[in-house]
Amino acid sequence: MRARPFMQVDVFPDRPFCGNPVAVVLDAFGLQDSEMQAIARWTNLSETTFVLAPDTPGADYRLRIFTPASELPFAGHPTLGSAYAVAQAGIATPCDGRLVQQCASGLVSIRFEPSGDRVWLQVPAARTTPLSEPHRRRLAAALEIDCGDDVCAIDVGPIWITVRAASAQAVLAIRPDQASIAALSRELEVTGVTVFGEYPDGDARYEVRSFAPACDVPEDPVCGSGNGCVAAMLARGGDRRPYLARQGRAIGRDGVVAARFDEDGIEIGGAATIRVRGEIFA
C-alpha cells in the first residue's frame, strides 16, 4: 500500500458542487482488478477511474473505469473528468488541444477548448438495436410513461435503452420502478435506461435522466454516455442540430451537457472543475 495522487472532479456542473463527480486515481500501477473495484465501492460515486501508462500506439494514457459494482469499457463523464485531471496533473500534455485516451472501447479523442471552459469527447460509433414490443411494455410500466415505438438499446461502450418522452416535464416527473429497471437491464445485458424530453423554449433543448440500478447507480446525476446515446438517436432520425441538455435537476445535481455533430460523428462536452486534490493510500 502506498500514497497515490488523487483528484475528484466535477463534470458538467452549471454551478459549484453540482454536475457529476468522478474520483480519479492518477497512478494505478500495480493495483489489482479487485483492488480497483474495492476503491470504486468505497468512493461510492457513479464512477471511479484509474490512470495507467498506455500500451497502444497513439494513446496518451490508459483509463480503466469502475462503477461501485463493475467495470465499464467506456463512460462519458469519467472520460472528460479524467482527461482534465491528467492534463492538470501534468501526466500528459494536450497536443493541438487534444489528448487521446485508451480504454476498453478503444481510443477516444478528447478536445480542450482554448478558453478552458469546456472539454469535449468524441462519442464512440453507436450501434442501435430496437426493443421488442414486450420489452417496450415492461419499460413503459417501469417508467410510467408512454414510450412509443422508437425505443432502442444504443451501444456506445455502455449500452443504454434510450427512450424519448413526451416533454421535459414528463421526464422530470418520472418516479422509476428501480427493481423493474434493474431486472430488465440484466435480462438485456445493458447498462440502464436513459430518458429524454424536449423543452418548449429556453437555453436547453432537452431534459435527460439516466437510471442504472443494475450497476448500483439508481440515478446517474449527469451521464455523458447516456447523452451520447440521446444524440445518436436524434442523428438517426435526421436531427443534427447542436444543442444543450440539462440533467440532474430531479436529484438536485444540475448539470449542462453540450452536443454537436460533424463529419467525424458526435461530440459531447461540458465543464470540468477539480474539487478535491490529494492522495489515496492503496
Residue positions annotated with a catalytic role = 47
Buried b / exposed e across 66-78, counting CB within 10 Å, b at 16+? bbbeeebbbbbbb
Task: Decide: 226 and 208 in contact? Cβ < 8 Å.
Answer: yes
Angle of helix 76-89 relative to helix 224-236, nearest 10 degrees, comes to: 120
Give the C-alpha separation, 91 to 56, whole Å: 17
Task: Decide: 209 and 195 in contact? Cβ < 8 Å.
Answer: yes
Task: Decide: 164 and 233 in contact? Cβ < 8 Å.
Answer: yes
Q: Is the torsion defined by CA of 118, 122, 127, 128 positive or negative?
A: positive
Give the C-alpha separation, 79 to 111, whole Å: 11
DSSP category for residue 125:
P
Give the three cell numbers for residue 33.
482488478
Task: Decide: 79 and 224 in contact? Cβ < 8 Å.
Answer: yes
**Partner residues linked to 155 by β-bridges:** 127, 159
Give the C-alpha separation, 168 to 195, whole Å: 10
Element of type H or E holding 142: helix 133-143
Give the three cell numbers for residue 246.
440539462
